[in-house]
Structure 1
Amino acid sequence: MNSSGAEENLYRLFAYITHQQQRRIQKMLTHKGTKELTTKRLKLRRFTVDDAQDMFNNWASDAEVTKFVSWPPHSTPDLTRELLGKWVEEYEKSDYYSWAIEYNGRLIGSIGAPSITERDERTEIGYCIARDCWNKGITTEALEAVCNYLFDEVGFNRLEIRHATENPASGKVAQKCGFIPEGIMRESFRSSRGVFCDLVMLGRLKSDRN
């Protein structure tokens, strides 16, 4: 066997071992999808396309609520319905986590884990709540329920939240749930207004709960 053949065999062996290791690592997360969660005041459930009008009325059309998200406020319920249609299709995947938040039977927001890194057992969490439900502890209650589910049921080791420095209220919610500020990511996000924002990175580890 010439040297090039030996190198090729070594490369194939390395690729096989790496693939097997990656498979073992990925099995450490036990994905269960978006299951219904309940708290003292809230029900967290899957969205349906029938939620479009309520979502549009309660937060998706509000420029103040959507100021620090990636999509602009919706101008019509049809845009909201189109977005929900995409979300609903994703529920077929076991690693898709997106909850509608109900408070007193009213749809008032969303919370989910949109960015999963399997190998590192971590994900980012994002949330968006109707303006008339701010400062009532609702987001904190929903976030704690989702954190417990992702840690205990799915097996994540690290959860992350990022918020614009101009939106400190979001950071207060995260810190109430045990997230620790870890630094500033300068101009790392372009908001729906087209403005680059500095983001605060906060993290919470499974071991932080001990």
Structure 2
Amino acid sequence: MNHLGTKTIETERLILRKFELTDVEEMYNNWANDDDVTRYITWATHRNMEETEKVVQGYVDDYERDNYYHWCIVLKETNEVIGGIGAFRLFDDLKLFEVGYVVGKRFWNKGITTEALKTLLKFFFEEVGVNRVEARHDTKNPGSGKVMIKSGMQFEGILRQAGKNNMGICDSAIYSILKEDYERMNKKILEAWDLS
């Protein structure tokens, strides 16, 4: 694979960039301190801004590695930090990434996470050389699965009691997309645009 690290990527509504220490307050206020947001994820709700600062400092330190992929999601319109997305498990020998994401509650159901995930899939397949991207969610959190489906991922099954989050041990729904799936989708889109 051609590891490129967390490079800045822009979409129609978003800027995906590295986290910075100046993002601590907005990260804390927009999602890290919200039990509704953290309910189905693996890290505990932050109780104060100092916790968030330590976490962001860890992100900043990790950016020195070219195989570290973790973006801050910024809303272009307001320049507000609204979430995070990245690849959290990498298997170079399989050319496989597992992705995850979190977005503040005020920004749910606006297509923002789907927009960010689609952009990362393009980057991973076309520039990094990944062959498979997968993602999981607690079966009690179907909204996360909708993001995966809208991004072109396919449901593969349920891994019973194979996950753990802030609600405890859970069943995990697993989704994936292969490079060949991604290429096939893009080919269909191009064919639909071909008016000749």
If the length of structure 2 is used for normalisation, what is the TM-score? 0.91
User: Which runs of structure 2 are paired with 1:11-26 in the superposition (5 Å)?
Assistant: none
1:207 equivalent in alignment to 2:174: no
Aligned-pair CA distance for 1:192: 2.0
Aligned-pair CA distance for 1:189: 1.4
Q: Which of 67, 83, 86 lines up with 2:58 in the alignment?
A: 86
User: Which runs of structure 2 are paired with 1:179-194 in the superposition (5 Å)?
Assistant: 179-193=153-167
Distance 1:177 1:86 in 2: 29
User: Which runs of structure 2 are paired with 1:161-176 in the superposition (5 Å)?
Assistant: 161-176=135-150
Aligned-pair CA distance for 1:188: 1.1
Secondary structure of the residue aligned to 1:89 is helix
Distance 1:137 1:71 in 2: 24
Corresponding residue for residue 158 of structure 1: 132
Amino acid at match of 2:123: Y
Percent identity at matched positions? 41
Amino acid at match of 1:196: I
Please identify the structure whose Cα radius of gyration is greater: 1
Corresponding residue for residue 5 of structure 1: none
1:197 equivalent in alignment to 2:178: no
If the length of structure 1 is used for normalisation, what is the TM-score? 0.85
User: Which runs of structure 2 are paired with 1:27-38 in the superposition (5 Å)?
Assistant: 29-38=1-10
Alignment gaps of 5+ in structure 1: 1-28
Q: How many residues align?
A: 181
Partner deviation per Cα, 1:7-47 (whole Å, 9 max, x = no partner): xxxxxxxxxxxxxxxxxxxxxx0000000000000000000
Displacement over 6 Å in runs of 4+: none
Aligned-pair CA distance for 1:49: 1.4
Q: Please report the RMSD computed on the Cα atoms of aligned residues, expressed in angstroms.
A: 0.6
Q: Which of 134, 149, 157 lines up with 2:108 in the alignment?
A: 134
Corresponding residue for residue 18 of structure 1: none
Corresponding residue for residue 97 of structure 2: 123
Q: Which of 21, 38, 42 lines up with 1:49 in the alignment?
A: 21
Distance 1:44 1:37 in 2: 5
Secondary structure of the residue aligned to 1:135 is coil
Aligned-pair CA distance for 1:151: 0.6
Partner deviation per Cα, 1:36-79 (whole Å, 9 max, x = no partner): 00000000000011111110000000001001111111000000
